[in-house]
Amino acid sequence: MSSVRVGDIGRAERARQQNERRVRARRRFLIVAAVVVVALLLVIAGLALSRTSAFAVQSVEVKGATHLTESDIAALAPVPEGTSLLEVDAGAIERGIERDAWVEDARVSKQFPGTLVIDITEREIGAVVEIATGDSNAVQAWAIASDGMWLMAIPDPDSEVGQAISPTIYEDVAAALLITDVPYGLVPEMGTHCADGNVNNALDIVNGLTTELADQVKIVSATDAESTLLTLEGGVEIAFGTAEDIRDKERICLEIMEQNPGAVAYINVRVVDAPTWRAV
């Protein structure tokens, strides 16, 4: 029969625990080292691939652009020849494209091995605004989006600039609502939102109309908000006033025209509780 001292048992247990800790520490070190090595290999492989032609951008596919030309987009988001798809900064390209007033949103994606896809959501022309230039009562037509963003001054279609822009712009301008009689002094700036209360009131009215009346409005005279005048395609004039009580004003106009088909020349709903109208 042999005996073991309590102290010996304690030392043996401590030695066992220390050995386990060393084993665990060594295992953690090996795992970390392996992860670092793999990460370095991936970085080296990525750098090597980015410097080869394996993933060079071969084509740029643009979706959703009708008002911007290919040259417009290339100027907004240049991709140097030979650029690797791995090196393309999609966010920077998106921000570059969104600087243009026509672009509401841009999304860039990569399709390996060599295609860059640019998906664009464009603003549409909400109206064409005639801006007084002060030159012998001349006016300059400006396209404005429904959200009040100034899109561009419309150049003469026969000019050098006019020949360079998308034909879709002129098609949309021809079909757009016209805002006229804007007081002198308004100076639009492309890519900024309109701050003129008269123009914004006109946009609010046409954006707020929900019935067939909306499609009939062709011209809006925006001398001042209180005197805003709508002209329908049939020639009927509506003194609409401010963009308040739009639904009620709209309903009253439709009722008057329905009850007096072909006989109405003028309707005044600036005071919605006291509408008046005049026959042809």
Token pair of 205 as six digits: 């009215």
Widest CA span of the chain, in angstroms? 130
> Residue-wise pLDDT tens for the chain (280 aa)?
555 565 566 676 677 777 777 778 778 877 876 777 666 655 554 554 545 567 899 999 999 999 999 889 989 988 888 889 998 999 999 999 999 999 999 999 999 999 999 999 999 999 999 999 876 578 999 999 999 999 999 999 999 999 999 999 999 999 999 999 999 999 999 999 999 999 999 999 999 998 889 999 999 999 999 999 999 999 999 999 999 999 999 999 999 999 999 999 999 999 999 999 999 9
CATH number at 79 reads 3.10.20.310
CA 146/CA 71 separation, integer angstroms: 26
Last residue of one domain, picked from the residues 122, 151, 174: 122
User: Do 94 and 164 share a domain, yes or no?
Assistant: no
User: Do 196 and 273 share a domain, yes or no?
Assistant: yes
Domain contains 14: no
Query: Which SS3 state, helix, strand or coil, does residue 113 take?
Result: coil
CA 228/CA 198 separation, integer angstroms: 8
Domain contains 92: yes
Domain count, the chain: 2
Residue 36: Cβ-neighbour burial (10 angstroms; 0-12, 13-18, 19+): exposed
